[in-house]
Amino acid sequence: MADLPHRCRGCVFWELDPVRGEAAVEAGRAELEKEAWISAVLLEWGSCGRVVYVDDIPVGFVMFAPPAYVARATAFPTSPVSPDAVQLMTAVIVPGYQGQGLGRVMVQTVAKDLLMRGFKAIEAFGEARWKEPGCLLPADHLLAVGFKTVRPHPTHPRLRLELRTALSWKEDMEHALDKLLGVVQKDPVLRPL
């Protein structure tokens, strides 16, 4: 929690319903509620986020979970998230590190993790009229990192990233590189003595 940007530590937009979220903020316990939510999801489902470090400095984070754990997952006009998908709740890259591809790396890391856990897709509610950082990700950014719109909406489209598609280009490139290097550098051969 300490490595999250300050404004995000006490934000419970996704973790709690609007009434409980407002009560937590008013009572000054939003950070505790967020920490409790993360702990509960971690115990019941597994890792629900990643922090990005550059030279041991936290410069961003991403949070995700199955929609059953996300209180606001059904609050959008483009709900619900598909049953075969995990919801990408939010992601932040701090100023000074934006525009360097870290957002794409975060999405690819989450995609690889979720694919290994047996999920087929990541879905997110985008902000079509994004002007400043908030709890929703800009729809344009999601589209730029490979998401496709599955439920259009003028303000909050639902977007989806198929995990096989997200990782296949990387695997294809690795395979092609391995083949190329295999021509140049043969694998060692073991021979009997």
Q: Give dist(CA 73, CA 17) in Å, integer.
A: 9
Q: Which residue range forms the structural domain that includes residue 32? A: 6-184
Taking alpha carbons only, the member of 76, 75, 52, 78 closest to residue 63 is 52
190 falls within a domain: no
Residue 179 lies in a domain: yes
pTM value is: 0.84
Whether 192 is in a domain gets the answer no
The pLDDT assigned to 162 comes to: 95
Q: Is residue 191 part of a domain?
A: no
Question: Taking Cα atoms as reference points, which of 50, 55, 79, 76 lies closest to residue 65?
Answer: 50
pLDDT of residue 166: 66
In a domain, 14, yes or no: yes
- DSSP SS3 for 95: coil
Report strand pairing: 57-65 vs 121-127. Answer: unpaired
Q: Could you give the number of structural domains in the chain?
A: 1
User: Residue 83 maps to which CATH number?
Assistant: 3.40.630.30
Q: What is the pLDDT of residue 188?
A: 29
Specify if 139 maps to a domain: yes
Question: What residues contact residue 44 under an 8 Å CB cut-off, 6+ apart?
Answer: 69
Residue 159: name the closest of 96, 107, 116 by CA: 107
Mind listing the pLDDT tens digit of every residue in the chain (193 residues)?
888 888 899 999 999 999 999 999 999 999 999 999 999 999 999 999 999 898 888 899 999 999 999 999 999 999 999 999 999 999 999 999 898 888 988 998 999 999 999 999 999 999 999 888 788 999 999 999 999 999 999 999 999 999 987 665 555 555 554 554 544 433 323 333 3
The reply to whether 1 falls in a domain is: no
Residue 151 lies in a domain: yes
